[in-house]
Amino acid sequence: MNTSTVILQHKRVCNLIVRRKIKQSFDIMTDMLDNVSVGGIKDEFDELRMTYLNILKYTVEGINDPERQKIYLKLLQNILKLNDRIKQDILACHSGWYTYSVRAREQREDRTRGGNIIQSVDDLVFKSRLDDLLSSAEIEKTDPEGERAAEMERLSGIIFNHFWLSDFYGEAEESLMEILLRSGRFPWHDLASFVSAITLSSLRIWDPAKIRLLSKLVTDTTPHVAERALTGLVFSLYYYDDRLSLYPEVMQKVRELSVHGNFRERCRIVVLQAIKSRDTERLSKRMNEEILPKVVKLRPRIEEKLDLDKILGENTEEGQNPDWSAMFSGSEEMFKTMEELTNLQMEGSDVYMSAFSGLKRFDFFRELRNWFVPFYPDHVAVDAIFRDDILGPAINELAEALFKTPFICNSDKFSLILNMKFLPAEQKSMMLKVFRMELEGLEQMKYDNELTDPAAIFRTTVTQYVHDLYRFYKLSYFKNEFDDLFTSRLDIYNSLFFREICGSTADDRSLADYFFSKEYYDDALALYLTLIRSVSDDAELYEKAGYCYQIAKEYEKALENYSMAALIDPKTWTLRKTGLCLRKLGRSEEALTAYQRALQSEPEDLTTILMTAHCCLDTGRYEEALKHYFRVEYESPGNVKVLRPIAWCYLMTGRYSEAERYFERLADTGLSPFDMINMGHLALCQGDTRKASEHYISALSGGEMTPEAFMNIFNDDASLLISKGVNADDLPIVLDFVLMNLKKDF
């Protein structure tokens, strides 16, 4: 059975059920049932089908049943659940995935232990047995490698796998999590990893009970638990957004959560961080293709000028490093780029993905659970470095500094630690020096951030966790077994739960402006249009909506919004944008009027002067265009590009000697194929056909312009040439001469 086919069929059934197209969904499920291994699934399908037939029959016969709508809703839920079970059964039998091999192993071990201690016994027996296990697995911190530590690690793995691999939760799972939290026997990092297991399970197969459990954990005070629970909750509700209308109890639970003080604000933090992940691939590509090659070229200068003591400094909050300017002297662009990356890092953007993507091949990452374990100084991966001659004596400082740094996610911290033992001795010593100097600064920075931002710890933890999730979906050995959330638009702000809980005007405005600042214009536009429906007298909303349409090249819609903005609050900026859109639409006269009005308000603005000149040129007002171009040339003497339209205007006004002079000035800086064509036109107007042909051939000989493009330009300009006295009969002859000469026919 083809795995991709099963996944596709499952998605089609889900979409059909949500749209209340039951008959079509049954047809697809009938086909899927040929591949299931559990006979009871087919019996359940037949029961659901019969229930639906009865609903249809009673409805058509006009029988009034006050419970019909509830029965119908429950039926839809049961069909979705059965569809999910069919998918899981087929994948377990035919996919060969790691997920199902682990589940089969756990089931075998359950049988060896005498049954599943979580599912197969009633709550009282289960709680009693778990307490016994916890008691026997309790460890002393002084014996990290003892048998009890190994037993605790084994038990943690069993619990993680249970939460991850259970398709549907019951009271036992809720009881299990409660016991784990209040037992005091499991450290915070294990509890945090269990929350990730619940999230993985929720994203693997929908279950309202998992949503309820995540909702409970959102208010827990254990480190990293609430952050991971809310991230899992938000991602799950987004992933299953189309189903939520069928589960009113889930939406009610989210509404109840929203009344808690910081829930909505924390939701926005998760949503913003998820959206920032869109930039990760672009940043990684930029690092690999643009920044790192430049750094390699700068390496001799960096090695000479980089002084670690001064670079890190005593005050990590002082802003730009004063030595950067010297280090990047002669490479100002590089300096600006590094400054930009630093700012992105401070905002929570994932700038380290490319650096650490190659360090995920350690055996450590072959265990799925390890992708979700928060980094902590006492982890066994850190303990292993105690035996290193150089790192061992200072491992506590190193691990503590790494634990506290907010800019590296947990997965990358483990990568760094695991890779350190393979570094040359000199690099190990340098790393220790860096981390020692960082440690004190990190403490101060953490303290300052918590003073100025009450949500700092939550934001940092969520940022690191989203980066961890991104790496799991993109880099792990298991990525092909999971539906990658990060390939979607992650437009969580459009989901049902977010619109109901966090969709206030202020929230939408904040998100829209963030999208706008990051050039996510499609996202920003959707929110601006939503805002305009409720806030109709805000000129800035119309301006930004207009700009989004302009970027999308929907100039008519952009004009509509710019016009509304101008009615509310006339601005020169709006006039300029109106002129630009009109010009793009070919409405040159109207564009000229708009730019002339803008020029009256800002007579010294070079951009407005230049655009006014362009409109004059478009409308054939060459003398007026020249006046404006001369102002630009005077105010911006190094601007070579302005020479081109000046030369053209002189050509169009018949002042050929002046046009020739400007073309000669252009030649000193390098001529484009278009410049050579225009020089050919000038020669034709002057009656020098051979010189014109030479210019045309030069335009084509460089290979930058195709003969087809040349012919189109030449034919488009024919009427202008004829208006300047060029013999119309000569034009096809000149064109053929150029093209045949290019093919060496002469």
Output the six-digit token pair for 745: 């026919």
The Cα–Cα gap between 489 and 467 comes to: 16
Q: CA 569, CA 537: separation in Å to the nearest integer? A: 9
Question: What's the farthest any 2 CA atoms get from each other in the chain?
Answer: 105
Per the rule left: phi > 0, alpha: psi between -120 and 50, beta: everything else, 325 is alpha
Instruction: List the domain boundaries for the chain.
Output: 3-94, 117-260, 285-366+375-455, 671-746
Give the residue among 123, 115, 103 at the shortest CA–CA distance from 176.
123
Per-10-residue mean pLDDT of the chain, 746 residues long, equals 91 96 96 90 96 92 85 96 96 94 87 55 44 54 59 87 94 90 89 98 97 96 97 97 95 91 90 90 79 56 39 40 46 59 74 88 94 92 71 72 87 89 77 67 61 81 96 95 92 91 87 90 94 92 97 97 95 94 95 94 91 93 93 88 91 92 88 92 93 92 89 92 92 91 64
The pLDDT value recorded for residue 305 is 39
Residue 188, CB-side half-sphere exposure with 13 Å CA sphere: 14
500, 504, 507, 508 alpha-carbon torsion, rounded to 10°:
90
8 A C-beta contact, residue 625 and residue 613: yes
Find how far residue 293's CA is from the centre of its chain. Answer: 24
CA-nearest of 168, 92, 192 to 481 is 92
Neighbours of 336 (CB within 10 A): 11
> What is the rounded distance in angstroms from the CA atom of residue 68 to the CA atom of residue 434?
69
What is the distance between the alpha carbons of residues 617 and 650, in angstroms, rounded to a whole number? 11
Q: How far apart are CA 216 and CA 212, in angstroms?
A: 6
**Angle ∠(197,202,208) on CA atoms, nearest 5:** 130
- Residue 744's SS3 state is coil
Taking 3-state DSSP, the helix, strand and coil percentages for the chain, each rounded to the nearest 5, stand at: 75, 0, 25
pLDDT at position 465, please? 97
Sign of CA dihedral 378, 381, 382, 383: positive
- Closest C-alpha among 324, 319, 333 to residue 301: 324
Determine the pLDDT at residue 654.
92
pTM of the entire predicted model = 0.80
**What pLDDT was estimated at residue 163?**
95
What's the pLDDT score for residue 121? 31
What is the gyration radius of the CA atoms in the chain, in angstroms? 34
Whether 545 and 528 have beta carbons less than 8 Å apart is answered as yes
CB atoms within 10 A of CB 469: 25
Instruction: For the chain, give the number of residues.
Output: 746
Backbone phi, psi, residue 461, to 5°:
-65, -40
Distance CA 663, CA 691 (A): 14
Look at residue 599 in the predicted model and tell me its pLDDT: 93
User: What is residue 105's three-state secondary structure?
Assistant: helix
Q: In whole angstroms, what is the distance from residue 724 CA to residue 681 CA?
A: 10
8 Å CB contact between 154 and 88: no
What's the pLDDT score for residue 185? 81
CB 339 within 8 A of CB 467: no
